[in-house]
Amino acid sequence: MILGLDISTSITGYTVIDENGSIVLNEAWNFTNKNKFESIFEKAAYVKKQIAELSQKHQIKKVYIEKSLQSFSTGFSSAKTLSTLASFNGVVSWICFEVFGHEPQYIAATSARKTCGIKIEKGVKAKEVVLKHLIDNEPSFVLCLTRTGSVKPESYDKADSIIIAKAGFLCEQNSRS
């Protein structure tokens, strides 16, 4: 089985897929409750517990993680945010190494989408295209909506973790052939 992670300090999406590429589990850990998680270390401790539970329930053979941003883009994260995200990504990567006994593999979001056959046109928000692709092509994907019908933020992280896991699966298939 493959674990795909879309790591963020606010919401981390995770997907487990089986040896046939089918989704076994697709969820998210939401860290936005500031009273529950006051520091990055409390978030990491929570993730460690959750990953340990995943390892007990599923025989994870490979872990694929979305590569953290390496450069600035206009209108996106600040240096502090990128640094915090990279630190958290490193901590979660280490937790995966410790729990599963092998190094995680990293895939850039753009590469993962391309591997999964998702094309993003210029000027279009990638996250919206990914959601539409999954709604149209992945019957097990559940879109989380608010009372007013808006997409809940964790839907995007869950969707991204599916794409990372599926891209990892396809990479594994290609390396075997």
pLDDT digits (tens, 9 = 90+) for 15-63: 999 999 999 999 999 988 766 887 889 899 999 999 999 999 999 999 9
Q: Which helix (H) or strand (E) holds 96?
A: helix 79-100
What's the CA gap between 59 and 3, in Å, rounded?
A: 10
pLDDT of amino acid 74: 46
pLDDT for residue 97 is more than 70: yes
pLDDT tens for residues 55-83? 999 999 999 999 875 544 444 556 666 67
pLDDT of amino acid 177: 64
- Answer whether 64's CB lies under 8 Å from 115's CB: no
Structure-block tokens of residue 10: 């606010």
pLDDT tens for residues 122-168? 888 888 899 899 999 998 898 888 899 898 989 999 999 999 999 99
What's the CA gap between 29 and 160, in Å, rounded?
A: 13
99 versus 85: which is more confidently predicted?
Answer: 99
pLDDT of amino acid 38: 78
CB within 8 A of 138, min separation 6: which ones? 23, 162
pLDDT of amino acid 98: 94
Mean pLDDT of 8-12: 89
Residues found in the chain: 177
Structure-block tokens of residue 5: 């992670």
User: Over 131-171, what HEC string results?
Assistant: HHHHHHHCCCCCCCECCCCCECHHHHHHHHHHHHHHHHHHH
pLDDT tens for residues 110-135? 999 999 989 988 888 888 899 899 99
What's the CA gap between 94 and 155, in Å, rounded?
A: 25
pLDDT of amino acid 35: 63
Q: Per-residue confidence at 173, pLDDT binned at 50, 70, 90?
A: confident
Q: Determine the CATH number of domain 2-176.
A: 3.30.420.10
